[in-house]
Amino acid sequence: MSRNAESTAFRSALEVIRAVEPRVADAIGAELTDQRESLKLIASENYASPATLLAMGNWFSDKYAEGTVGRRFYAGCQNVDTVEALAAEHARELFGAAHAYVQPHSGIDANLVAFWAVLADRVESPALKKAQVRQVNDLTEADWFALRRELGNQRMLGMSLDAGGHLTHGFRPNISGKMFDQRSYGTDPATGLIDYDRVAEAAREFKPLILVGGYSAYPRKVNFRILREIADSVGATFMVDMAHFAGLVAGKVFTGDFDPVPHAHIVTTTTHKSLRGPRGGMVLCQPELADQVDRGCPMVLGGPLPHVMAAKAVALAEARRPDFADYAQRIVDNAQALADGLLRRGATLVTGGTDNHLVLIDVSGYGLTGRQAEQALLDSGIVTNRNSVPQDPNGAWYTSGIRIGTPALTTRGLGTAEMDQTAELIHTVLTQTTAGANADGTPSKAKYTLDADLADKISRQAADLLAPHPLYPAVDLT
């Protein structure tokens, strides 16, 4: 696509929107400005390509398409079949998966599809067997009671939230923590690393139906071969949530024992983050789980979003290009350079560094909570998110950590030299921020003090760092 074509496409779209609701058009334009001017270091965010963005704004948005390719509950879905089949084909080829289901609307939806697919495949009960053959009208009240008990009383073993796991891996406020009798495995208190012997011990004691691998804030590689061996030893289904590092798998940075696809029975992911696609989810699985996975709609999903599946097909096609592997490697190179820069300046990092796309800073060494640090950095043009650290005394709301990641800045073209400069900006803000106090004089976990002139100076320095790497340079909305 030519530079002129991209500008024309987005400018024209905003003109059409502005004619109906100018405030929405203004907000869209403001978001582009904000993203262009901020150091985006949120590990779960990225920048989708113009082609991916444009694939979502079209007539596919108007279609209902419950069912799967060739088996729809609505007529007139032949074009939806085309884009869904293409997205699934690209996913299978990209990841070397036997089966791909591209309908989930998000990573949480993908995990729910996976959980219910495993439950339906593994749990034996007369009521469930009736439900599987769709004899729903034949289920008695006693059958339903037995079914609820069987499906809601299974065991899951996943990484704890404070050790880097995700809320969908059994965190109590999430539906996963209500569906399952759940137990968590943590990390070694001394190193912050997964202790596989302890995971194996927990699995032998707890005997879960599902062993979950994967993370949202663990800055190291995971050995999925060992976790599969642990799952097999207790007869568990091994599920991996690779939402955060799917781009590193797609780009062949994570291979062998560190690639979950050959080892897991079922793998879930988002399609944004390091994969650089639209916001959405996806499930990859072994053939024996394919039929259950394909029942995701209407099992737990609403109608598929064909316009997002079209964008997934575009983004997955982009990820199959040779330059994506180079991009994935640069993500890791940048993360390691950022970690090294922070360590040299005295920051404390969980596990002492990173093997992947993210870095987790323990900001208690700066005398701050994660919430204070997050807001002070935002004041200074640096967008991050607060995150728990292992055995976090401040809990999941205030936290003691800041999670930062490099997928977005790598997309913009920043390299290792700029990562060192970024580390300097972060360190300066954190050292110059002081914790505040409540009205009664007690220490506050939210209030802080940062000199406004310093925040403005750091914001300008961040903008100077980004200036040689414009975001969407082909898009001019003026």
Please name the residues in contact with 464: beta carbons below 8 A apart, sequence gap of 6 or more: none
Backbone angles phi, psi at 39, to 5 degrees: -80, 100
Give the type of residue at 87.
A
Q: How big is the CA angle at 15 (ends 13 and 20), to the nearest 5 degrees?
A: 100
Backbone angles phi, psi at 460, to 5 degrees: -65, -40
Out of 52, 270, 411, 433, the active site residue is 270
DSSP helix/strand/coil, 232: helix
> CB–CB of 260/213 below 8 Å?
yes
Query: What does the alpha-carbon distance between residue 260 and residue 476 come to, in Å, rounded to a whole number?
Result: 41
Query: What does the alpha-carbon distance between residue 42 and residue 87 come to, in Å, rounded to a whole number?
Result: 26
204: annotated active-site residue: no
Q: Locate all alpha helices (DSSP H) within 294-355, ordered by sequence.
A: 296-299, 306-319, 322-344
Query: What does the alpha-carbon distance between residue 210 and residue 355 come to, in Å, rounded to a whole number?
Result: 26
Give the type of residue at 460.
R
Q: What's the burial of 158, exposed, middle or buried (CB within 10 Å: 0-12/13-18/19+)?
A: buried
188: annotated active-site residue: no
Out of 8, 11, 36, 66, the active site residue is 66
In this structure, are strands 180-185 and 154-159 parallel, antiparallel, or unpaired? parallel
Out of 92, 225, 279, 457, the active site residue is 279
207: annotated active-site residue: no
Backbone torsion region of residue 346, taken as left when φ is above 0, otherwise alpha when ψ lies between -120 and 50, otherwise beta = left
In this structure, are strands 180-185 and 39-40 parallel, antiparallel, or unpaired? unpaired
Query: What does the alpha-carbon distance between residue 258 and residue 457 come to, in Å, rounded to a whole number?
Result: 42
Q: How many CB atoms lie within 10 A of CB 69?
A: 17
Please name the residues in contact with 323: beta carbons below 8 A apart, sequence gap of 6 or more: none
279: annotated active-site residue: yes
For residue 266, the cross-strand partners are: 239, 285
64: annotated active-site residue: yes
218: annotated active-site residue: no
- Is the peptide bond prior to 278 cis by the omega test (within 30 degrees of 0)? no
Out of 241, 362, 374, 379, the active site residue is 241
Out of 273, 276, 371, 386, the active site residue is 273
Residues identified as active-site: 64, 66, 241, 270, 273, 279
